[in-house]
Amino acid sequence: MKKFRFLPAAGLLGFSLVTNAGSMEELKQLFNQKDIELNIAVTGDYIYTANRSDNINGQSGYGDKFTYTAFLGIYKTASEKNPFGFGFSVGQAWFPVVGLEPIPNPDDGNGAFSKSDTNFGVFEAYVEGKLGFVTLTAGRFATNIGGEAPFTWQNVNIQRGLVWGGEPVWFDGIRVSVQYGKFQGYIGVNDRDTDDGKMALEAGVGTSFANVDVGFNVLIPDKKDETNTKVYNLTVNINYLDYLPLTLYVDYLNTPQTGDNADSVGVALLGEFKVNNQLSIGGRIEYVNNDGDGDNYGIGEGNNAWTFTVTPKYQLNRYLYVKGEISYVTLGHKHYQKKGDKPNDLSDNELRLGAEIAFVF
């Protein structure tokens, strides 16, 4: 019965938020007058995986999952006029990734907060100061790596891609950024979101030209870090067509280990075709490849995958939207267990259907 009560409850919550959006807009305008950005998001989500038992090896979520996201963020960007800024976001969220099974549950700590057994907590908490071309950021903040954002409501698709699944998300640290004209760069040290006391080095450079943004980023953890994968990332945002923005990003992952290192490569192309002001269609195609010495993408050693995702979106009004999604993954060789009582009954593909209703303010 919990599943059948979920969507009506999400609908009632969305209706309540929309009916109060006028007063919330007034609050947001007050924040804007102080150069403070207020972000609120609530989503209700459902994902179904075809041809899977719901419980495999004692863990649920292989067949389908109802879940949600609740997010509150407050930000003030440091500028020459106001040289001190901050960022703070809190909430409960989930991070479904195509090709990764089972579907994560926001109540079991799967994917959001590595230092906790819950997915409710602080996503970001940082302060920053700007002096001339230089900005100093310290606290908990997001990585610059990759072409997709952490949350469903920030992306064209409901699920993140497999390439995103191999990247860091947040960490605690310090970062120094420099921007001069169309060129920018940064360098920093962070904990790679682990508790082992080992530090990681991050650095990146970027530029813009002719409606194209290009960035190259690296993350190099300590070899003894519990999460010691080196990440090298190239991201290209292409905005020649207002109705079809595109993002291409490429990752090379290298995990030190006894014997040969585990190497993987991932390439993703995603975009959103804007039919009109209300209807759009998001799409993503990916290819990832693990060498025979490791598994940086969760699909098996020496395996490779193609993923395809299509996500229509309809904007009901300024704050409320609905999405539908279909995704398909095909592997180089069988990896996914289909039935809980048949460990040798494996599949080389994954078909998922998804839906999301969201209030984003």
For residue range 100-127, what is the model confidence (pLDDT) as tens digits?
998 887 655 444 444 444 467 899 999 9
* Distance of alpha carbon 312 from alpha carbon 309, whole angstroms: 10
Q: At the topology level of CATH, where does 2-360 sit?
A: Porin (2.40.160)
* Distance of alpha carbon 2 from alpha carbon 182, whole angstroms: 52
Average pLDDT over residues 26-46: 81
Average pLDDT over residues 219-244: 93
- pLDDT one-digit tens code per residue, 246-266: 999 999 999 988 888 889 999
Tokens of 270: 């995603």
* Confidence band of 40 (pLDDT split at 50, 70, 90): very high
Strands (E), 19-154: 37-49, 64-76, 84-92, 120-131, 134-142
The pTM of this model reads: 0.88
Three-class secondary structure of residue 100 per DSSP: coil
* Distance of alpha carbon 330 from alpha carbon 307, whole angstroms: 7
DSSP state, residue 52: -
- Give the pLDDT score at 104: 81
Task: Classify burial at 75, counting beta carbons within 10 Å of its beta carbon; exposed 0-12, middle 13-18, buried 19 or more.
Answer: middle
- Give the pLDDT score at 208: 95
Crossing angle of helices 21-33/2-19, nearest 10°? 60
Average pLDDT over residues 334-339: 92
Percentage of residues of the chain with pLDDT beyond 70: 86
Average pLDDT over residues 193-207: 92
Q: Taking all residues of the chain, what is their mean pLDDT, rounded to a whole number?
A: 88
* Nearest CA-CA partner of 88 in 18, 50, 139: 139
What are the structural domain ranges in the chain?
Answer: 2-360
Does the pLDDT value for residue 27 go beyond 50?
yes
Looking at the DSSP bridge assignments, the partners of residue 131 are 134
For 124, phi then psi, to 5°, come to: -135, 145
